[in-house]
Structures are given as C-alpha cells and as structure tokens.
Amino acid sequence: MKLFVYSLREFDEKQYFDYWCESCGVTYSSTTEAPKPHNLHLAEGYDAISIITTPMDADMLAVLKKGGVKCVSTRTVGYDHVDIKAAEELGMTVCNAPYPPNSVANYAIMLMLMCCRRVTHILKRSELQDYTLNGKIGMELSNCTVGIIGTGKIGRTVIEHLKGFGCRILAHDLYQQKEVEELAEYTDLHTIYRECDIISLHMPSTEENFHMINEEALSEMKDGVILINTARGSLIDSAAMIAGLENGKIGAAGLDVIEDELSLYYYNFCGKPMDNHELALLRSYPNVIVTPHTAFYTVEAVEHMVKNSIAGCLHALNGEENPFKVV
C-alpha cells in the first residue's frame, strides 16, 4: 500500500509513521500542509491518504478519487469534517482512528476540578501577586451531582474514574450499557439539566444534537451550573452559553472545543487579529477555561491514532473486516 499523509506533525507523529509503516510494509510520503485544492495532486498515485481535522468536501474527494485514492483515514475519532455521503457515492472508504479513552476522560475530570476550584481566577490573580482569599472559594467535586451525556468509551471511562471521588452520577445515552448502570443512574436529559451541578458532554456531532445545549436547555439548569465540553463545539450554542455566563446561569465552563474551530486550532496565529468573536469573549472571562482541542493529546493517544490510521487503510484495501471503517 502507498499512503500519503497530510498535516504530518514532524515533532510527534513522524516517529510513529516511520515505525508502523515499516512494520506493516507500507510506503508513505507526507507534507506538513493540510489538504487543500492546490496540493491534492501530491496524493496522485497513492492508494490512501491520512488527514486530521481539515474539511474534506465533495469536490476535494472527487479530485482524490480521480488520482487513484481509494481510502481516506482521519487520525481522529470524529469524522464530521469529511463529506461521508460524497465519499460513499464515489466508492471511497472513510476510516477514523480511535485511541484509548483515558486521555480525554482524564482531561474532562481535570477541567471539572479546575472549574470547581476556580483555578483560572486564582492563577490570574496570583500573577499579579494578589494572594488574598476573597472571591477564590471553591466547592468540592465529591459533593457534586455530575451529569454525563454520552456513555461511549470516553463517557464510560469518565464515570468509572469519577466514582472514586464519591460523586452522585447521572447519565444519559440513547444506548444504555450494563457496565454504566452499575456505576451511575441513567435518566432523561431534563432530569440531568435540573439536578446536576456539573454537566459533561461526550458525544459525536450529529444533525440531531446540534446546539443541544441552547437557551431552552440552560433555562432548566441550576443557577451556577458548570459545563464541560471535550467532545464537539457544535453541541453548545455559543451565543446562549455566553449569555448564560454573563447572567450567572453558568457558574463556570471548561471547554476544549468550540464552534467554528476547524480553521483555527492547530495553526499559529500569534500576532494576528482573532477571527472568532465568541472565542475572544470566552477567553476574557475569569470563570472559563478554554484549551485548543488538546484533551486527546498524550503520547499513548498519538501513537494509537497513527497506528490505527494505517491499519484502517490496510484493512480497507485488503478487503478485510475493518473496525475503523465509517463508510
């Protein structure tokens, strides 16, 4: 198999592409650039490509197909940046690259703890050598009722780890799991909104859950609720969240993802005006933690993403059972 890798990060991914491609008998070439219309020709003659979160529309997929590409693998769990319908119509396989859930689960709990203890506010004041206590008092995670929306691998792991804190845990998912029922109480969204001190999102982005956290949902929540999002930015209506932060409905937010981040995150805009007004506002609030989609980013996760991206392409081209196949 010949594989072309876009958006190769030479500082962390390259060592794993070198190792796993050699181990699997795969020939690969790469560019640090994201796939764009002007550089799709680089993949001509290759069987498959590996990408990250760059949008792949129908026109780009058609060009790749014409150049011989049969499989597109995204080195991410989510694949909403790829036009799945167009790929299916073109007869192209699309794969994702899951990784162990611990990285994101650990990060989500870290954000919960930081929000509960007002760490951002404390650090900012400490930078100014303000070591007084007034306004810094927090609350204990152990005494919170935590709502986990989405109990797939990551959500389930969050629940497993949270159990050690002694929290009361409520959960919601369209598909309930026995393992989760032993640790948490499944319930409806309205109950989670009404009763939880902390609500953490762990779902893929779909048309059905777009802006599920909106003005109406927020109106059902406790005053001072803490929102955690390490899943997808489109799950939360940014305007409604900003209004909730400003009127006190939301007490704190820990956000590793935001809306309209695809053209922003993983690029260096140092010294340039920010073209995302919502992010600029969110970064200004002392009770908001915003990180640039890095919850996944551990040594273990990066190696699995590279390894599974290669494996998905191999399975697809060899006509084998493919656990990484999306379409």
d(CA 165, CA 89): 48
Q: Annotated active-site positions, please?
A: 232, 261, 293
Alpha helices in the chain (DSSP H): 14-24, 58-66, 84-90, 102-116, 119-127, 153-162, 178-181, 189-195, 215-220, 238-247, 277-284, 299-317
Rg (CA), the chain: 21
Angle at 76 between CA 12 and CA 161, to 5 degrees: 90
- Selection from 28, 35, 31, 27 nearest residue 74 by Cα: 35
Strand partners, 200: 148, 228
CA 235 to chain centre: 11
* C-alpha dihedral sign at 258, 264, 269, 275: negative
Collapsed DSSP state (helix, strand, coil) of residue 262: coil
Collapsed DSSP state (helix, strand, coil) of residue 82: strand
Residue written as token pair 């859930």: 101
As to burial, measured by CB atoms within 10 angstroms (0-12 exposed, 13-18 middle, 19+ buried), residue 294 is: middle
